Structure 1
Amino acid sequence: MKLRETTYHVRDLDAAIQHYCGRLGGRLISRLPWGVAMIDIDGHGGKISLFDVNTYLQENPSFHGFPGPKVIIGVEDAAAFRRSLLKQGVRVGSLLGELGDICGFEAFDEDGNAIFYLEDPASTFDTQIESATL
């Protein structure tokens, strides 16, 4: 398992990029056509993804979106890790995406705080994913 990034929904992607890069000194790693930008915030692997709410939800109408800032942890096999958490009594959401492609799910602590676990075999944002301990 490896911490990948923290995500934020934004109403104006250009303004958010300007804030995180222009004001806070981050570096734009990539900007994807479906309304997502990845920022290297600290030069040491700390990343922030910015999701343009309007573009992202328009391109992905079945996606309900994140309720707020969210930590994303990369796992080698999202389905297997989800099953492992279920066996331990952890409350988890449905598996989203396609197995063998980008997919993931939310898991919740006792207070309802969510972490999103992501399997991304192509490592879209140039982040190495380490094996999850199941």
Structure 2
Amino acid sequence: RAREGGGPTMIEAYTYRMGAHTTTDDPTRYRVSDEVEAWKLKDPIARVEAYLRRGGGASTSFFAKVEAEAEEFGERLRAGIHSLPEPDPVRLFDNVYTELPDELREQRDGYAAYLSSFEHEGASR
């Protein structure tokens, strides 16, 4: 449709967060095990893996290689992220709107002043 010039298309996709929000979160407080098990059966990655294993399209060694490659990629990605310079927190207001509304401009300026108060506080000691 897009290739034919039919305009934009909205895709609504449902997903399920299998893990906890944080390391201190206990999902068993607000989820029942039947719900979790039902969503496990819908996991697209697990379903494709099962399909490939059943059909002989991929071996155990293939999946071991994929897992090792994913882990290595994750390590490289984390190392790259940790090597980035610390971002300027005030930049979070950039590129939100083509023209920053007055309300957000005031919030940005107030946040900048708040952050600079720490710099001045440390300089006076």
Structure ranking higher in strand proportion: 1
Q: Normalising to structure 2: TM-score of the pair?
A: 0.20
Structure ranking higher in helix proportion: 2
Higher relative contact order, chain-length normalized (CA < 8 Å, sep 6+): 1
**Larger Rg, first or second structure (1 or 2):** 2
